[in-house]
């Protein structure tokens, strides 16, 4: 039966859209970090919404599971298939057109396979800003960004992908197409269905296009790198920076000294911009579309005032675009640098902004009590309460033995998060990696409601089964383990 369906799918998408030769198929099966290596009957690459719909209809008839895939930069194993090889990967990569830009309405409509950087560029060419920005922007695709509700460095000012979305086009699990591509900022006509598909990680349908918000392009951008004596001061400094910049703060990123040290050690082009070492740093960016009042002057005044108040120990404001890039390089180098320091147990968590410092202190102490010598690297978008709480292994410890502590460390860190009303996944989603943690921390009522939504939209459980939700004991989300 399945081979008959595969032939019919090949007939829909043509030879360019159907990959089953092992070598060509391989990249579709491996997760970005290599954590998961799956198998699939084929990677199918439709070129239009109609082709996606036709493929989904065939899969629905045959009971063939579908794993939607964008740029495959996701970090929780959501976009790669399970090892059982029972599904197909449906890649949106060929659907990469910008369908329309309306500068007056400040909107852009793009197909799901459009690479994020291309979308930013298209907006830029019309003197507009599409503010979603993240390290993977040269590879990730807007359908993947929508499906993970991606965050990134601009969330503080512009919100995450959900906040940037006005309308969606979605192929439903039965192959029907929902045209919800509205370009309205106000539309109170009942349930806002697009929000079900945003952040659903491909478990409810396939996003084929989206209408997204654009913004005026910034004419002034200023970047500062400041040093702090105590992590307890970080959010007070953040609050002052917001006020001093008339709420024009675009980014506020935390960097620990250890993160800077390993970046200098392992990544070319990173240096310490300040004369003396300090335990903590923050990277700030302010931007504005107007040119009358000087953001630089506001930032200088903020720096002088916070140094005077004893909150900031030292700081530098980038004198040029190139220097600003150098400061950002410190932030971006941390993950790469950590790879050179042995095993890293990662957490992508959020707590209320007012609890960031006490979370970092308590969680760091708790993991060190359990494993002396462990090296926490707490960094990231703390302006949104989002902390990448990564734990580098003790020096000299066997990496495999260290990584065996993964679940135990998760429990310690996630308990500290939960105690503060936080989230165990601030940006990256649940996928396969965190579904057991989700089951542990979400209330039974929320889990039940999520399962009901899934059942209502995808009764055959064909859309990315086993991602986000899976019955206990089921590996691929389709049947219990035997």
Give residues in contact with ligand FAD (CB under 6 A). 32, 67-75, 78-79, 92, 112, 134-136, 140-141, 143-145, 147-148, 150-152, 201-202, 206-207, 427-428, 431, 464, 467
> Encoding tokens for residue 77?
């194993």
Distance CA 429, CA 216 (A): 29
Cβ of residue 134: shortest distance to ligand FAD, in angstroms? 4
Q: Which is nearer to ligand FAD, 138 or 459 (CB)?
A: 138
**What's the min distance (Å) between Cβ of 246 and ligand FAD?**
26
Torsion sign across C-alpha atoms 455, 457, 458, 463: negative
Query: CA angle, 358 as apex, 352 and 360 as ends, to 5°?
Result: 95
DSSP 62: H
Taking the least distance from each CB to ligand FAD, the nearer of 222 and 253 is 253
* Residue 462 Cβ vs ligand FAD, minimum distance, rounded to whole Å: 13
How far apart are CB 121 and ligand FAD at their closest, in Å? Answer: 17
- CA–CA dist 25, 322 (Å, integer): 40
Q: Is 282 helix (H, G, I), strand (E, B) or coil?
A: strand
**Bridge partners for 52 per DSSP:** none
What is the full DSSP assignment across 214-267? Answer: -EEPPSEEEEEEEEES-GGGHHHHHHHHHHHTTT-EEEEEEEEHHHHHHHHHHS
Note whether 39 and 73 are within 8 A (CB): no
Nearer to ligand FAD, 106 or 141 (CB): 141
CB closer to ligand FAD out of 131 and 315: 131
Least Cβ distance, residue 274 to ligand FAD (angstroms): 25
The angle at the Cα of 384, spanning 381 to 390, to the nearest 5 degrees, equals 40
Nearer to ligand FAD (CB atom), residue 157 or residue 405: 157
The distance of closest approach from Cβ of residue 59 to ligand FAD in the complex, given in angstroms and rounded to an integer, is: 14
Q: C-beta of 68: minimal distance to ligand FAD in Å?
A: 4
Q: Which residues of 151-164 are buried (b: 16+ CB within 10 A; e: fewer)?
A: bbbbbbbbbbbeeb
Nearer to ligand FAD, 244 or 262 (CB): 262
CA distance 150 to 420: 23
CB of 69 or CB of 306, closer to ligand FAD: 69
């Amino acid at each position: 039966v399945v081979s008959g369906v595969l032939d019919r799918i090949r007939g829909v998408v043509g030879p360019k859209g159907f990959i089953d030769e092992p070598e060509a198929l391989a990249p579709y099966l491996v997760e970005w970090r290599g954590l998961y290596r799956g198998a699939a009957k084929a990677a199918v690459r439709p070129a239009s919404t109609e082709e996606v719909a036709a493929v989904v209809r065939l899969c629905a008839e045959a009971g063939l599971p579908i794993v939607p895939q964008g740029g495959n930069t996701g970090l929780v194993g959501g976009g790669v298939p399970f090892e059982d090889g029972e599904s197909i990967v449906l890649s949106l990569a060929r659907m990469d057109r910008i369908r329309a830009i309306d500068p007056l309405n400040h909107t852009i409509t793009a197909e799901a396979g459009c690479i994020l950087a291309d979308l930013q560029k298209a907006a830029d060419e019309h003197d507009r800003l599409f503010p979603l920005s993240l390290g993977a922007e040269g590879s990730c695709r807007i359908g993947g960004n929508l499906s993970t509700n991606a965050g990134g460095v601009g969330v503080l000012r512009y919100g995450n992908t959900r906040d940037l979305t006005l309308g969606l086009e979605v192929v439903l699990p039965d192959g029907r197409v929902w045209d919800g591509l509205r370009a309205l900022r106000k539309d109170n006509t009942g349930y806002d269905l697009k929000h079900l598909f945003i952040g659903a990680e491909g478990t409810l349908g396939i996003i084929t296009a989206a209408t997204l918000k654009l913004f005026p392009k910034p004419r002034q951008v200023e970047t500062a790198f400041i040093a702090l004596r105590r992590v307890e001061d970080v959010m007070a400094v953040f609050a002052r920076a917001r006020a001093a910049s008339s709420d024009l703060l675009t980014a506020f990123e935390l960097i620990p000294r250890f993160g800077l040290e390993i970046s200098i050690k392992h990544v070319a082009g990173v240096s310490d911009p300040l004369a003396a070492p300090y335990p903590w740093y923050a990277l700030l960016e302010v931007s504005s579309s107007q040119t009358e009042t000087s953001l630089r002057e506001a930032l200088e005044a903020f720096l002088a005032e916070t140094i005077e108040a004893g909150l900031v120990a030292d700081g530098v404001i980038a004198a040029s675009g190139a220097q600003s890039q150098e400061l950002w390089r410190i932030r971006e180098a941390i993950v790469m640098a950590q790879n050179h320091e042995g095993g890293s147990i990662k957490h992508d968590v959020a707590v209320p902004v007012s609890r960031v410092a006490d979370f970092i202190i308590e969680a760091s102490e708790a993991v060190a009590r359990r494993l002396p010598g462990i090296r926490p690297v707490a960094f990231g978008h703390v302006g949104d309460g989002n902390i990448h709480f990564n734990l580098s292994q003790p020096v000299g410890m066997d990496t495999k033995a260290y990584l065996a502590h993964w679940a135990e460390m998760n429990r310690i860190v996630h308990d500290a998060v939960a105690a503060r009303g936080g989230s165990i996944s601030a940006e990256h989603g649940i996928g396969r990696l965190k579904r057991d943690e989700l089951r542990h921390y979400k209330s039974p009522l929320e889990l039940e409601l999520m399962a009901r939504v899934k059942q209502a939209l995808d009764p055959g459980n064909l859309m990315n089964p086993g991602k986000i939700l899976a019955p206990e004991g089921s590996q691929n989300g389709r049947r219990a383990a035997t």
